[in-house]
Amino acid sequence: MRTFYGTELPNPLMLGTAQYPSPAILEQAFRDSGAGVATVSLRREGGAGQTFWQMIEDLGVLILPNTAGCHTVKEAVTTAHMAREVFDTKWIKLELIGHTDSLQPDVFQLVEAARILTEDGFQVFPYTTDDLIVGERLLEAGCEVLMPWGAPIGSGRGLNNEYALRAMRAEFPDVPLVVDAGIGLPSHAAHAMELGYDAVLLNTAVARAGEPQVMAKAMALAVEAGRLAHEADPIEARDMAEASTPVIGKAFLS
């Protein structure tokens, strides 16, 4: 399994902590999913109090703070520094939103912020588009992980551009890649792993499901199935049928 800044994840599922009906359901969803990483927004959860933070710590998973809601380099850098103090970690999921409706990253500011944070000792997980040039610039800025979107945050549309995601996997074979955002169904998560991605990050699909705990378990099974399928080297799709039963030894009627 791929390592992320030298850390091997116990499970390739990363799960967000927002929008759950209750803290108890959030906790149970994590238990049922076996997720190895919890993403936490300092800005959105800042008023949750010590009880919330203690519950997150008690989950026993790796914490990936994020800069959700930031729209400028200054906002993102300041939020990252606050998160490092609160969570005592170098990890930061860098979100820098440029478009209000699609929540598409502002890739120009993203690269700038990634460079600043990397130089300051952060280990940056950038939420980015599936653009190869942007990916290259983020790696040049010091990132060792790329997190391209599958679809807009919370949309549940799955993998909008499979071609681009395949191209990114091929272009950066040695870089840990995570499909982040847009996952709505277990089949979407499995597909991402079948493409050779190293992990998936999702939140809304579990938190807003009618039964979050059940969906959390479904996502865990899907991620594992997709990972195994990729390792099994699956057959390629064909336009024509190919008989699975040999004709040698077939009886002929005269």
Order of strands, sheet of 13-16, starting from the edge strand that comes earlier in the sequence? 147-148, 123-128, 91-94, 62-66, 37-41, 13-16, 199-202, 178-180
Catalytic position from the list 74, 90, 93, 217: 93
E strands in 85-191: 91-94, 123-128, 147-148, 178-180
Closest C-alpha to 43, from 91, 6, 93: 93
Residue pair 164/134 in contact (Cβ under 8 Å)? The answer is no
Q: Is 90 a catalytic residue?
A: no
Q: Write the CB contacts of 105 (distance below 8 Å, at least 6 apart in sequence).
A: 95, 96, 97, 98, 126, 127, 128, 129, 149
Token pair 């890739």: residue: 107
Q: Which residues are catalytic?
A: 93
